[in-house]
Structure 1
Amino acid sequence: MDIIRARIHHQHLGKEKRTSPANAVAWFGAVQAQDYHAALWGVSLRLSGVTLASLEAEFNNGSFLRTHVLRPTWHFVAPDNVRWMQQATAHRVRLLMAGYDRSFGIDRKFIRRTNTLLEKELRDATYLTREELADRLKRNRVTAEGQKLAHIMMHAELDALICSGPRRGNQFTYALLDERAPVQRPLEKEEALAELAAIYVRSHGPVLLKDFAWWSGLTLKEAGIGLNAAAPGLRHETIGGQEYWSAAGVRSAVPPPPSALLLSVYDEFHIAYKDRSALGGAEYDTTLKSMGNDLTSLLLIDGRIAGTWKRTLGTRKAEITVSRLRRLTANEKKVVRAEGERYGAFAERPCTVTFL
């Protein structure tokens, strides 16, 4: 099995697309989204005919949410999935927050108090920014800013109390989760781990156990419990001496990858794996790290890393600058420019591509 071709197919980066933004986010379980606009571009790559404006409208109406889940960073997540995913993984995020919590004087008693205040301020669809909520907390004798305020908000997210509200201009707001997502029955721990494993494998496979543990934030033991519980719907095979998991019944022969892909920064095709060697090998890992950040916006040619790219989005035009990691042929430059045109259609602006 060609791992990259299979992953491109299962991640819907080829010709087969998801049916809606909400459906695309739900397919992945969660999509890393601390870079909001880049994450929207990443979602758009799994769809046809969507624009930045149309995706923002879907986000604002709550078709998909943005919250801290899996790991201590923002993710897009489907309303139907957010509660049980927090149930399965929030303990791991809290563990990573614990050291800073102690330095800020944050404990469960403190969080119960701030959660009560946040619930009061946000009820009845009162969408407020982080700064506005800091002011409301201060009125109730809770002074917090910077990282302490961020931890207060993260704990409320992990407790399934709050999530994203609609954007107000370029500002993010918070909302009560009960007003943005349906209340559903809680899952037993093993049931939640199995569901998380099944979703991850179907959308990212073939994957290793350590890939699932990395993406989910779980321990290797917890990740193994999830995979074993989901095993009746999965299959595993040895490739290159390692055991890979895929969804049962998937085609062994998959279509060839698109000629060029401009992946978003933190795209699931890159960030979701602990082992990223299939993208180009150790030499590309070394080159990317020497550039200062191996987690960057990648240019793929025929499924393999060929460079990185940056975009400048102006009010009237978009500009993409490609930094090549190898020489590109004239035809390869042509297909990259075509991918740049796709970004221009997404941004609803003419787009030029420059090669460095």
Structure 2
Amino acid sequence: MARDSAHREIALLRARAQGLFPADAAAPGPVVGALLALQAQDLAAATWAVGARSPGATLAGVRAAIDAGEIVRSWPMRGTLHFVPGEDLGWMQRLTTARLLQQARLTHERQGLTAPVYEQARQIAVAALSGGRSLGREAFQALLERNGIDTAANRGYHLIWHLAQTGTLCWGPTAGNAQELVLLDEWVPHPRRLEHEEALGEFLLRYIRGHGPATLADFVWWSKLTVAEAKRGLQVARPQLAERRIGDTSYWVAAELDGVVPDAAQRRRFAASAWLLPAFDEYFLGYRDREASAAPEHHERIVPGRNGVFQPIAVAGGRVVGTWRRRMLGTAAAGQRLGIDIAPFEALSAAQAAGLRRAGERYARFRELGLGEFDVGELRVGDTAAQ
């Protein structure tokens, strides 16, 4: 029971740090700034990760923030696409790029991607994109091909990754359901400049503020910095952090939360909360130890085969209670609506089902659609059945 109580407290405090509970009216840009980075290789999922933390936001509004450069999508860490505040991308990459390039070196060399090829591709990119121009992925790869650079067998992706990882490119304005490539120096004209030690402290501090309570091991997993770098970051950020013991484990929280304990009213509201969160959401993904949000026996359902592909999650009372998917109903001409299917891990209560339906309605509003069918296991709820 004490372990369950500790998990509930950790989940509540993490949901608050992540802007999920209580959800405030933060705009998309500040949402990303508060978390520092949200995993974003799935662009549609990442836009909803922002929307879920920005009540009243729509997909169009999040795309507008992307188009304005308030949110930038690139490879700041783990070799994985993330949303980050544009001004923070440069100092993050200066901490992580050298190790990632070393890890990728043999793969790239086997594909014939050498320093002269990278430099030729960089010069082509600068010439084509200078002056605020942009190109989609296929168009950029076609440009490389016309200039004698082979992009087959995934070489095009690796070239884009290298040029972004080394600070030439990033993803810029939206184009349909994708984004176009731009020059980073033009898209982010005023990056923050941090010294190495300051950047280590900033990395850890921003992670804890947007994800805490969390352990140093959680941060090392999330950032892929070394343990030594994480410890040095902790030394730098220590005056702005507090160590807090929950259950039998010590966690780090922002200093302003030291001693703050959720009251009975907050706990009741949290127990009644429900969210539909996207694939790869930080609420589950952002920690090495994920027991506070989901029972270990359910982790295989969230990440089938432990293959790194995280499913969209249904959360009730701070616990992941199932996965979900969306369906489009009807035709564009007749007016489309959204269908949502929940695959619960165990039987849900009527209150949980009702809460998840409300979460589905919120997601439908984000997509500027009506919610049609809503399925929870064997329970099927139509348009007129929600009470």
- Mark yes or no: TM-score above 0.5: yes
Aligned counterpart for 1:160 among listed residues 163, 167, 172 = 167
Give, in angstroms, the shift of residue 328 of structure 1: 0.9
**2:183 is matched with which residue?**
176
Alignment-mate amino acid for residue 188 of structure 2 = A
Provide the TM-score with structure 2 as the length reference: 0.87
1:353 aligns with 2:368: no
Which string of whole-angstrom CA distances, capped at 9 and with x for unpartnered residues, describes residues 13-61 of structure 1?
0124252111111111111111111111110111121111221122122
**CA separation of 1:102 and 1:240: change in aligned 2, threshold 3 A:** farther
In 1, the alpha carbon distance for the partners of 2:284 and 2:99 equals: 22
Query: Which consecutive residues of structure 2, in runs of 5 or more, have no partner in the other structure?
Result: 1-5, 378-387
Which residue in 2 is equivalent to 1:66? 73
> Does residue 336 in structure 1 map to residue 353 in structure 2?
no
Query: Mind listing any 5+ residue stretches in structure 1 that lack a counterpart?
Result: none
Amino acid at match of 1:187: L
Identical pairs, percent: 32
Q: 1:309·1:321 contact (CA, 8 Å) conserved in 2?
A: yes
Question: Aligned in 2, Cα 1:208/1:263: closer, same or farther, shift over 3 Å?
Answer: same
Two-structure CA RMSD over aligned residues (Å)? 1.9
- C-alpha distance in structure 1 between counterparts of 2:12 and 2:46, whole Å: 22
User: Does 2:321 align with 1:298?
Assistant: no
CA distance in 1, matches of 2:51, 2:302: 25
1:157 CA displacement: 0.9
Match of 1:207, SS state, is coil
Counterpart of 1:271 in structure 2: which amino acid? Answer: L
**Offset at residue 289 of structure 1 (A):** 5.2
**Match of residue 327 from structure 1:** 347
AA partner of residue 299 (structure 1): A
Partner Cα distance (1:341, 1:58) in 2 = 23
* Closer/same/farther in 2, CA of residues 187 and 108 from structure 1, 3 Å limit: farther
Note the C-alpha offset of 1:266. 0.6
Residue 238 of structure 1: how far off its partner (Å): 3.3
Aligned residues of 1:134 and 1:145 also touching (Cα < 8 A): no
Structure-to-structure mapping, 1:1-356, within 5 angstroms: 2-17=9-24, 19-184=26-191, 186-250=193-257, 252-254=260-262, 255-256=266-267, 257=270, 259-288=273-302, 295-313=310-328, 315=332, 316-351=336-371, 352-356=373-377
Distance 2:80 2:153 in 1: 15
Change (3 A) 1:287 1:150: closer
Change (3 A) 1:184 1:350: closer
Change (3 A) 1:50 1:288: closer
Q: Is the 8 A contact 1:92 1:217 kept in 2?
A: no
Bigger drift between 314-323 and 108-117 goes to: 108-117
Partner SS, residue 253 of structure 1: coil
Equivalent position amino acid for 2:289 in 1: D
Shift of 1:290: 5.9
**DSSP 3-state at the match of 2:73:** strand
Structure 1 residue 145 displacement after superposition: 2.9
Distance 1:306 1:184, change over 3 A: closer
Partners of 1:214 and 1:24 lie apart in 2 by 22
Following TM superposition, by how much is the alpha carbon of 1:297 offset from its aligned partner in structure 2, in angstroms? 1.1
Q: CA–CA distance in 1 between the matches of 2:56 and 2:303?
A: 34
Does the C-alpha gap of structure 1 residues 186 and 57 become closer, same or farther in structure 2, counting only changes over 3 Å? Answer: closer
C-alpha offsets along residues 309-336 of structure 1, whole Å, 9 cap, x if unaligned?
1112454111110001111111211111
Q: State the Cα distance separating 1:288 from its structure 2 match.
A: 4.2
**Does the Cα contact within 8 Å between 2:124 and 2:144 map onto a contact in 1?**
yes
Shift of 1:106: 2.0
Q: Would the aligned equivalents of 2:43 and 2:178 in 1 still touch at CA under 8 Å?
A: no
Compare 168-177 and 260-269 and name the one that shifted more. 168-177
Secondary structure, aligned partner of 1:312: strand
CA contact (8 A) 1:165 1:174 kept: yes
